[in-house]
Amino acid sequence: MPITEYQKEQRKRYIGSSDAAAVMGLDPYRNPSDVYLEKVQDLEDAELSEAAEIGQVLEDSILDWCAKERGISIVRNQFRVHDNGIMSANFDALVKGNIAEAIECKTAGILTPFDRDEWGEVGTDEIPTRYIIQIQHQMAILPELQTTWVPVLLGGVGLRMYRVERNAEMIRFLEEVLPEFWSKHVTKKCQPVDPPPTMEVLKRIRRVPSKSVPIDGALVAGWQAAKKIAKDAADAEELSKRAVLAALGDAEEGVFDGGRITYMETHRKGFVAKDTTFRTLRFKEDKVHAKAS
């Protein structure tokens, strides 16, 4: 379910369970600098992706399914804070009458294919690493919590149930690393050096009109140099592509030792914009050549 304004404010005051993997550099979508800015900067609200919105809409239904499968009653949307005053968690659901169990529901592959390597055998803890860290963070906050059930709706597969058990060693590590991050960076307003925040977070900073600050010229020089490298690479790629198309003449396919290239017509049906027809150059490696390499 969507978080409330109060929950948004609470998130700035603590390292939440969904922040933990990012702080550790193990979240493919966020990094430590993102977490830092989200705690200390005045940011615009992040826009939910369509997949995230669908996940929120489906959350209650997935929780209902889990409760039915487990034969349990649940209390939803529970907020707790660690004794250290730094770590916090919003639990999707806790189990009534059983303080040793919780539920963390997920969706994957609703709009795009999910990584099947990340979701392993049903009933195990073979789930994405960032979710393992999220759950162990939650367990750190509730010492009695021993098992978290992870019901997930996998696109094209259906509802599946996974299970994560308490890992005391990981919890001790989180209880050491996360407060250290808070003390070293958030409290002292000292942004982690590398890597810089993602563009998604940087775009959310509320800029002060007409404000000017001094910055290191080497940063600008590095950006300009990278832009030139990217442009040179794009120019070289276009030149090479033109040479390939010229070699095709009026053919739609070219064959060479190691594979073939095609230049076929594609028709895209128009919905918002008008229908379009275009050609796409594609390389297809020869199967024998691919095995040999």
Cβ-proximal residues to 115 (8 Å cutoff; 6+ apart), any chain: 128
What is the tens place of the pLDDT at every residue in 133-179?
Answer: 999 999 999 999 999 999 999 988 999 999 999 999 999 999 999 99
Specify the DSSP class assigned to residue 218: H
Instruction: Provide the whole-model pTM.
Output: 0.81
Rounded Cα gap, residues 79 and 95, in angstroms? 14
Tell me the residue type at 165: E
User: Which CATH number applies to 5-202: 3.90.190.20, 3.90.320.10, 3.90.1180.10, 3.90.76.10?
Assistant: 3.90.320.10
Supply the pLDDT for residue 26: 97
CA distances from 263 to 43, 237, 250, 254 (A): 46, 16, 10, 9
Supply the pLDDT for residue 104: 98
For residues 58 and 216, is the Cβ–Cβ distance under 8 A?
no
Domain boundaries, the chain: 5-202, 219-292
pLDDT tens sequence for the chain (293 residues): 556 777 777 789 999 999 999 999 999 999 999 999 999 998 998 888 888 888 899 999 999 999 999 999 999 999 999 999 999 999 999 999 999 999 999 999 888 877 777 899 999 999 999 999 999 999 999 999 999 999 999 988 999 999 999 999 999 999 999 999 999 999 999 999 889 999 999 999 999 999 999 999 999 999 999 999 999 999 999 999 999 999 999 999 999 998 999 998 877 665 545 666 776 777 777 665 555 55
Rounded Cα gap, residues 220 and 238, in angstroms? 27
**Paired residues of 90 in beta bridges:** 79
C-alpha 92: how far from chain center: 18
